[in-house]
Amino acid sequence: MTESSPSSAPLFAEIQAGNLGVRLATSADEIDAMQALRYRVFYGEMGAKADAATARSQRDRDAYDAVADHLLVVDHDLGEGAKGVVGTYRLIRSEAAAKIGHFYSADEYDLSKLEAFDGKILELGRSCVAEQYRGRAVMQLLWSGIAAYVFHHDIALMFGCASLPGTDTDALATELTYLYYHHLAPAAIRPRALPHRYIEMRRVDRDSFDPRRALAALPPLVKGYLRLGGFVGDGAVIDAQFNTTDIAVVVKTDLVTQKYAHHYERQSRGSAV
């Protein structure tokens, strides 16, 4: 999918819950609305540092937007198409990454073990939701959309960079240590931060904190990955532009498809895929 010529045919039927729905972007206007939403959240709320072009456009965009698929949550009460965009997730398959030369996360992590995985892989990223819609309903819709996409493309493994707020790793010491000791990915599928960006995650003694409190302190998106049986890679990375501390997340899709496939099949039965 490109900004100038997105596909007009939906990959899967829109999944709806009341006035909200989730589907892939199908027009340049929707992609523009998605990029405007990302700018408001990342730069307006989270303190990301905009270069001159980004500040002028008030859009968060990069080369990967032109090759990715963009999952959208739309509120039909706000209007149809671009007017209703209130949430988004960027989905990059291997074929799309090849057009750029590498996955987005390759700027932070060695992905060679994931790229050697025996099965199709999918990179997730650039997830955000408008402030007034941040709740369980929208996140469930986004995960339902991801499940439908995974189901359609027969994805076996998902991965991406998830963010903890801020760049003070000492302030995040408990959370990073908890993730390393309780959710480290198996060696065969473990990304590792690039040597020049690697930050040790084992920052405090593993017995010096309450794991339940450490888990509760994590951002909702990270906890969502963990609930699906997700793992983290070795090493954190500072993203100074976005004012975050990144971790690599890896999720085998078994639990995703088990949880949502039957629902998706009911929704799409009788519809062309």
Asked if residue 157 is part of any domain, the answer here is yes
Evaluate whether 192 touches 110 at the Cβ level (below 8 Å): yes
Asked if residue 7 is part of any domain, the answer here is no
Q: For the segment 98-124, what is each residue's pLDDT rounded down to a tens digit?
A: 999 999 999 999 999 999 999 999 999
Mean pLDDT of 217-237: 94
**pLDDT of 4 strictly over 50:** no
Buried b (16+ CB within 10 A) or exposed e, 230-239: bbbbbbbbbb
CATH number at residue 243: 3.40.630.30
Phi-psi region of 67 (alpha: psi -120 to 50; beta: other; left: phi over 0): alpha
Asked if residue 189 is part of any domain, the answer here is yes
The rounded Cα 43 to chain-centroid distance in angstroms is 17
| Cα dihedral sign, 177-256-248-25 | negative
The count of structural domains within the chain is 1
Q: C-alpha angle 229/234/240, rounded to 5°?
A: 105
Query: pLDDT tier at 273 (50, 70, 90 boundaries)?
Result: very low
Q: What is the 3-state secondary structure (H, E, C) of 68-93?
A: CEEEEEEECCCCCHHHHEEEEEEEEE
For residue 207, the 8-state DSSP code is T
Beta strands in the chain (DSSP E): 15-17, 20-24, 69-75, 85-93, 109-110, 120-129, 155-165, 192-193, 231-232, 237-239, 244-252
Asked if residue 273 is part of any domain, the answer here is no
Task: Give the count of beta carbons closer than 10 Å to the beta carbon of residue 27.
Answer: 14
Asked if residue 10 is part of any domain, the answer here is no
**pLDDT of 264 strictly over 90:** no
The residue range of the domain holding 201 is 15-268
Asked if residue 2 is part of any domain, the answer here is no
pLDDT of residue 136: 85
**pLDDT of 218 strictly over 50:** yes
pLDDT of residue 7: 45
Asked if residue 8 is part of any domain, the answer here is no
Evaluate whether 242 touches 42 at the Cβ level (below 8 Å): yes
Asked if residue 6 is part of any domain, the answer here is no
Q: For the segment 150-167, what is each residue's pLDDT rounded down to a tens digit?
A: 989 999 999 999 999 999
